[in-house]
Amino acid sequence: MLVGFMGAGKSTLGRQVAVRLGRPFLDVDEEVERAEGPIWELFEQLGEAAFRELEARFLREAAGRREPSVIAVGGGAVETRDLFAELDALVVHLPVDADAAWDRVHDSRRPLARDEGDFRERYARRQPLYDEVADAKAADPDGIVLAAAGVTIGTGSGNLVPGNDQAEVVADAHVLELHPPPLEAPIHTVPPGEEAKTVATAERLWRELRLDRGGTVVAFGGGCTTDVAGFVAATYLRGVDWIAVPTTLVGQVDAAIGGKTAIDLPEGKNLVGAFHWPARTIIDPAYLTTLPVEQRREGMAEVVKTGLLAGEPYWELPDEQLVRRCAAFKAGVCLRDPHDRGPRQVLNLGHTFAHALEAAAGFDLSHGRAVALGLLAALRLSGRPTDAVEETLAPEPVLVDRDRAWQAMHRDKKATRGVLRFVLLGDTGAYTAQVPEADARRALDELIAE
C-alpha cells in the first residue's frame, strides 16, 4: 500500500511498480469514484467524515482480496483511527514537500486543495500519521520495490533484529577480521567461498545453533555465506527467520536477494536448497571499500548480467547507484516469481554454463569468472554483441575436463527430463529456449582452454 499526501505520486508510481511486479494496481479513490461518483461531489453531499467511512470500506475490500496487489491509498485515509492496524499489508510512505504538493494539485478539483492555508495545516497534521502507519519510505519505483522485498540500502543497520533479542550470527571468518559483527550475539564462523556451502558445514551449524523457533539467524559475509546460512535457517527446526547482511558486491547485487538458499554437492552447484526469503536484507555499500580487486571483479559479473537483462549499463554507475539499481531489478523479478516457476528464470542468464564449469573444476573456479564465461556463451548463442562482457570482465577460457563439464550441465537444476533450456537475450529482453545439443556443446567447448 502506498500512502502519502496529495500530489505525492501514489497513482503514477503505483502503476509503474505494479507492472514491474506483475500485480494488479488498485487506486482507492478511483474505486470509490467508479462505484459512488466523483469525490468532490461526495464531499459536498456527505461531508468529509462520511467520505472517510466510505473510503475505509473500499480500502478494506481492496486489502482483503486474495491476489497480491499494489494499492494507492487516499491521502487522508491515515486519519481514520486504527484503520491500518486492521490491514495485512506492507505500507510504504511516499514523502512530498508541501510546496511541491501545492503546486501539483491546487488547480485540480480536489475538495481539500482549494484553500492553501487549510491545505498546509492538513499537510502538517498528517505527516506524523504517515510515519506511524508506514513500514518504509520511498521516493521512486526502485525504492518501493526494495521496500516490498525487505531490502534496506545505506550505512548502519539500526535495530537489526527488531522485537527479538534471540539471534545468532553466521559469519565469514575472513570478513570478521575486517569488520565487527553487525550485532552482539553468538558467532559461528564459516570458511570463505564455496567451501562454506557443503553438507559438512551445514551439519556443523545445525548442531551448534541454540535458537528456538522464534530465533533469527544473521548471515554476515558474501554470497556463499548467505547461501549456507539461509539454507540452515530454512531447515533448522523446520525453519527460523534469517537476516542477510552481505559484504561483497556479488552478495549485495545478487546472492542475498530473493530467498534462494543452497549448498553444493560434488555432482553440481546448488543442488540442495530451499526458497526461504530473508526477513530483512541490509545492504551497506561501505563494506565494499575493503573488497579486494579480484572479489570486486567477481561481483561485476553479476552486475553485467543484470545490466544486460535490464538493458542499461549498470556497470558504469558509481557503487551506491550500481548496487541500488541491481538490487532493485533482482528484487522486482523475484517478487514477481518467488519460487522460480517462470519470469525469474531470466536471472540465470549465463549460469547454466557457469555452473557446469564450476562443477567440472571441483569448485576451484570462482563463481564470478565462471559467470563471465557463461555470459559470453549465452550472448553468442543469442547472436548478440559480447562487448560489455569482454571489455568489463575480460574472461579467459579455463582448463577443465570437457566431458565432466558437459555431464554437470545435464545435472543442472534448469534441465527438465534431460532437456537443456538456456536463457537467451533478444531484442525485447531475455527468454528461455531449448538449444540443439550440438550448439550448446560447441558453446561450452569455446569456454574451455586446450
Are 120 and 13 members of one domain? Answer: yes
Which CATH number do you get for residue 431? 1.20.1090.10
Are 121 and 246 members of one domain? Answer: no
Are 27 and 123 members of one domain? Answer: yes
DSSP-derived secondary structure letter, 189: E
- Other CB atoms within a 10 A radius of the CB of residue 81 amount to 10
- 3-state DSSP assignment of residue 216: strand
| pLDDT value at residue 324 | 97
Cβ 268 vs Cβ 359: under 8 Å: yes
- C-alpha 90/C-alpha 134 separation (Å) is 8
Are 121 and 204 members of one domain? Answer: no
Rounded to the nearest 5°, which phi and psi values hold at 169?
-105, 130
Residues 6 or more apart whose Cβ sits within 8 Å of residue 420: 352, 409, 410, 412, 414, 434, 435, 437, 440
- C-alpha 126/C-alpha 130 separation (Å) is 6
247 within domain boundaries? yes
pTM for this prediction:
0.91
Are 320 and 386 members of one domain? Answer: no
Element (H, E) at 217: strand 216-221
Are 321 and 243 members of one domain? Answer: yes
Are 312 and 178 members of one domain? Answer: yes
For the chain, helix (H) and strand (E) counts, in that order, are 18, 15
Beta strand ranges found along 28-166 (DSSP E): 70-72, 92-93, 136-137, 151-153
Could you tell me how far CA 322 lies from the centroid of its own chain? 14
Are 187 and 331 members of one domain? Answer: yes
DSSP-derived secondary structure letter, 244: E
Are 307 and 210 members of one domain? Answer: yes
| pLDDT value at residue 113 | 86
- 3-state DSSP assignment of residue 292: coil
147 within domain boundaries? no
235 within domain boundaries? yes
Classify residue 396 as exposed, middle or buried by CB count within 10 Å of its CB (0-12, 13-18, 19+). exposed
| pLDDT value at residue 283 | 96
| pLDDT value at residue 450 | 85
Tell me how many degrees the CA angle 397-398-402 measures, rounded to the nearest 5.
Answer: 105
Which CATH number do you get for residue 306? 3.40.50.1970
Profile the chain (450 residues) by mean pLDDT over runs of 10 residues: 96 97 93 88 88 90 89 94 92 97 89 91 96 96 97 73 79 96 95 94 98 96 97 98 96 96 90 95 95 91 97 96 98 95 93 94 91 97 96 96 92 65 93 92 95
Cβ 346 vs Cβ 339: under 8 Å: no
Cβ 251 vs Cβ 223: under 8 Å: yes
Are 104 and 218 members of one domain? Answer: no
Please list the residues that pair with 398 across neighbouring strands: 448
Are 196 and 272 members of one domain? Answer: yes
Question: How many domains does one find in the chain?
Answer: 3
Range of the domain at 210: 167-336
Are 136 and 185 members of one domain? Answer: no
Cell numbers found for residue 272: 540442495
